[in-house]
Amino acid sequence: MNSGREVIDGRLTVEGFSVAARAFADKWKTHNQSLPPWSWVPLINRTLLLSNQQEEGYLSLENILILSSLEESTEDESLNVATECSEKEEPVDHTILNQENEAHYYDFHIVYSASYKVPVLYFRGYCSGGQPLSLDVIKKDLPSCSVSLLLQSKWTFITQEEHPYLNRPWFKLHPCGTEDWIKLLSQSSISAGCQMPVELYLVSWFSVVGQVVGLRIPLEMLN
Amino acid sequence: MANEAVKYVWEGAIPLQIHLHKSDVASHPSPPPALVLAPRIGYLPLLIPHIKPYFKDSLPPGEDSIWFDYKGVPLKWYIPTGVLFDLLCAEPERPWNLTVHFRGYPSNILIPCEGEDSVKWNFVNSLKEAQYIINGNCKNVMNMSQSDQEDLWTSVMNGDLDAYTKLSPKLKMATIEDEFSRKASLSSPQSRQGATEMDVAGQIKTARVPVRLYVRSINQDFENIEDVPGIDTWDDISYLNRPVEFLREEGKCFTLRNAIESLLPEFIGDRAQTSGEERSRDDDNTEEADGLLREMGEIKLARIQGIEMKLEIPFSWVVNNLMNPEFYLHISVLVKAPQR
C-alpha cells in the first residue's frame, strides 16, 4: 500500500496533491467545457524550489471573465457571451453582468500548504487595464449567498496575503478546518465501502470551495 | 527558563540609519536621517512611532502610507527586521541605511499595512501556523484568552523576555528534545512533551519544525562576501515556508545541514536521507565524485539571528535556541547554484 497516496485524516501529502491536481484538471477538462482548463505550473522553473523526485507545482486558472453575481439557476449562466473575449481562443460562456458593467478578470491558483497539508485557494481580480480589484469590489462579484457565508462562517475566511511563490499580494481562502469537512465528505464514501481515493480529493474540495468564488463544478465530476 | 542563547536572540538589535525619500521632502533643507536601534525579532512598522517625529515637519500634506526600501527594493514588513538584514546585506552594513516613504505605497507589490494591527495579525497567524506544524492543531492559540494574546504580543513588541516567558507556556507548544536541554528540562517545573511521534518500541521519533527559508542563489564563487551583488527584486530570493520533517534516530545527529538539504535537495549528491558529512566521502569513484561536485550546488552561508552558522550543529539545538517568538526558525541562506 502506497501510503503517500492516501488521504489521511482529511489531509494530503505533497505527492498526493500532485496526483489529485492532475486528476482534477483532467476531469475538469472533460466535464466542464464552458470554462478554460486548469494548467499545472511546476515550481521547477523557479530557481531552487524543488523537492523530492516528484514535481511540485500548483494549479492555475487565469483570465476568467466574470461579469456578475446572481443567484440565478444554471440555465441563465450560459447566456451573455462576452463581446470582449479573454485571451483564450474559446469564447467564455460563464459570463454574467456585474454591477459596474465593466469586465473583471480573475485568476485562481490552487496551491498546496505544506504547513496545513491541505490545498489553499488563492485568487485575485483585475480590470482590463490590469488594475487590481479591492476585496469590496470582488465581494460584489461573488454569488451573494457566498458573501453571507463568508460573513457567518468561520472557515470561509478571505484575507489578503502574499502569494507563496509570486511575490505579489493575492487573496487567500483560509485552510483552517479544511481537513474536518473533507473528512465529512470522505465519510460518505467510507460508508459506501471505500476510502476517498486521492484522485477525488481536489474535486471534493473544490465542490465546496469553488462555490464561494462562484465557480461551480458539474456533478459528473464527482463520480 | 530563559537561557543565554534565548536572551541573546531577544536582545539582538540592528542600528538603522533611516533616510526620508526625497520625493517626500517638502521642507528645506531636507532633514537628516533618523538613527534607530531596531530589535531583530521586531518588525519595521513598529518603529514608525520612533521615526515619524524626526520627519513630520518635512512631510507634504496628506495621509501617510508608510513603507521602507533598501537600495530600491521595497521591504516586506512582515519579515522580522533581523531576517531582512541577514538576507539583504551579504556583508553586514552598520548602520543599515534604509529609506522611508510616507507616500506612494507600492500596493501592487506589498500587502497593505495598517500599522501595529497588521503586524500583530501577521504574528498571531504565524504563531497559529507554527503551532499547527508542531502540535498538529492550533487549538491552544485559538483558545487563548484575548487578553493573554494581547499580553503575549505586547511582550514581543516590547522585547520583554520575562513577560513572554511567563505567558508562552500557555501555548503548550511541544518541544523538540535535544541532549543539551534535556538536563535543564528535567529540573524544569513545566511539563515537556517531545514534538514527537514514537513507535511502539519508543525508538524512532519524528518531528515537524516550522522553518522559513530565504535563499539567495549566485552563479559563481566570490572572493569576498561584499562582492556578492545585492538583489534587484524579491524574485531574486526563493522563499520556502515549509516544515522540516526529520526522524530522530539513536546514535545519529540530525544537523542544520541535514535540515537545509531536506528543503533544498538540489544541494546533496544523492537523495537518500543520510547524514551529510558521511555522504560526500562515500563515493568510491573519484571521477564520479568530481562530476557530482560540479553539478551539486553548495551552501555558502547560512545565517540565523545574525550568526553565521556552522552547518554541523545539531538542528534541535538551533531550533530550541534560535527560533523567533512565533516559533518559526528563519534561515537566510546564500547558495551557489548547481551547474547544469
> If residue A149 lies in a helix (H) or strand (E), which one and from where to where?
helix A144-152
Q: Touching check for A3 and chain B: CB below 8 Å?
A: no
Name the residue among A150, A149, A47, A66 with its Cα closest to residue A107. Answer: A66
Q: Touching check for B9 and chain A: CB below 8 Å?
A: no
Comparing A72 with A105, the larger pLDDT belongs to A105
Extended beta strands in A139-205, E state: 158-162, 169-173
Q: Touching check for B42 and chain A: CB below 8 Å?
A: no
What share of residues in chain B are helix, strand, coil (percent, to 5)? 40, 20, 40
Residues of A in contact with B337 (CB under 8 A): 47-48
Contacts of A201 (CB under 8 A, 6+ apart): A7, A12, A16, A20, A119, A182
Residues of B in contact with A46 (CB under 8 A): 238
**Euclidean distance between CA atoms B54 and B57, whole angstroms:** 8
Is the pLDDT reported for residue A137 higher than 70? yes
**Euclidean distance between CA atoms B220 and B236, whole angstroms:** 15
**Euclidean distance between CA atoms B239 and A116, whole angstroms:** 17
Alpha helices in chain B (DSSP H): 4-11, 48-55, 81-88, 116-135, 139-143, 146-157, 161-167, 179-186, 256-263, 276-280, 286-295, 315-322
> In this complex, do A169 and B138 lie within 8 Å of one another by their Cβ atoms?
no
Alpha-carbon torsion (B273, B277, B278, B283), positive or negative: positive
Nearest 5°: phi and psi at B210? -70, 125
Q: Touching check for B263 and chain A: CB below 8 Å?
A: yes
ipTM value, please give it: 0.84
Residues A141, A158 contacting (CB under 8 angstroms):
no
pLDDT in tens, chain B (340 residues): 458 999 999 999 999 999 999 888 888 788 999 999 999 999 999 999 999 999 988 888 888 899 999 999 999 999 999 999 999 998 889 999 999 999 999 999 999 999 999 999 999 999 999 999 999 888 899 899 999 999 999 999 999 999 999 999 999 998 877 655 544 444 444 444 444 444 333 334 678 999 999 999 888 877 787 788 889 999 989 999 999 998 777 778 899 999 999 988 776 644 333 334 444 444 445 555 555 555 667 888 999 999 999 999 999 999 999 999 999 999 999 988 776 5
Residue of A nearest to B210 (CA): A115
Closest CB from B133, B233, B241 relative to A164? B241
Closest CB from A49, A162, A176 relative to B111? A162
Alpha-carbon torsion (A176, A178, A184, A190), positive or negative: negative
> In this complex, do A167 and B110 lie within 8 Å of one another by their Cβ atoms?
no
Q: Touching check for A175 and chain B: CB below 8 Å?
A: no
> In this complex, do B76 and A162 lie within 8 Å of one another by their Cβ atoms?
yes
| Most confident among A67-81, A162-176, A208-222, B140-154 (mean pLDDT) | B140-154
> In this complex, do A51 and B265 lie within 8 Å of one another by their Cβ atoms?
yes
Number of Cβ within 10 Å of residue B270's Cβ equals: 11
Residue A8: per-residue pLDDT: 77
Instruction: List beta partners, residue B304.
Output: B307
> In this complex, do A169 and B238 lie within 8 Å of one another by their Cβ atoms?
no
A176 is catalytic: yes
Residues of B in contact with A161 (CB under 8 A): 111
Q: Which of A17-21, A211-215, B85-89 has the lowest mean pLDDT?
A: A211-215
> In this complex, do A46 and B238 lie within 8 Å of one another by their Cβ atoms?
yes
**In a 3-state reduction of DSSP, which class is residue B302?**
strand
> In this complex, do A50 and B210 lie within 8 Å of one another by their Cβ atoms?
no
* Cell digits of residue B180: 543539551
> In this complex, do A53 and B271 lie within 8 Å of one another by their Cβ atoms?
yes
Q: Touching check for A135 and chain B: CB below 8 Å?
A: no
Residues of A in contact with B263 (CB under 8 A): 51
Q: Is B113 exposed, middle or buried (0-12, 13-18, 19+ CB in 10 A)?
A: buried
Among B73, B113, B127, B132, pick the best mutation site for testing chain A contact (most A Cβ within 10 A). B132
Q: Which of A78-82, A100-104, A129-133, B84-88 has the lowest mean pLDDT?
A: A78-82
Q: Which residues of A188-198 are buried (b: 16+ CB within 10 A; e: fewer)?
A: eeeeeeeebeb
Is the pLDDT reported for residue A102 higher than 80? no
Alpha helices in B187-298 (DSSP H): 256-263, 276-280, 286-295
> If residue A185 lies in a helix (H) or strand (E), which one and from where to where?
helix A178-191
Comparing A99 with B141, the larger pLDDT belongs to B141
Among B77, B117, B235, pick the best mutation site for testing chain A contact (most A Cβ within 10 A). B235
Q: Which of A108-117, A186-195, B158-167 has the lowest mean pLDDT?
A: A186-195
**Euclidean distance between CA atoms A160 and A166, whole angstroms:** 14
Q: Touching check for A164 and chain B: CB below 8 Å?
A: yes
* Cell digits of residue A102: 465593466
Residue B311: per-residue pLDDT: 95
Comparing A191 with A61, the larger pLDDT belongs to A61
Average pLDDT over residues A100-110: 84
Average pLDDT, chain A: 74
Is the pLDDT reported for residue A88 higher than 70? no
**Euclidean distance between CA atoms A186 and A180, whole angstroms:** 10
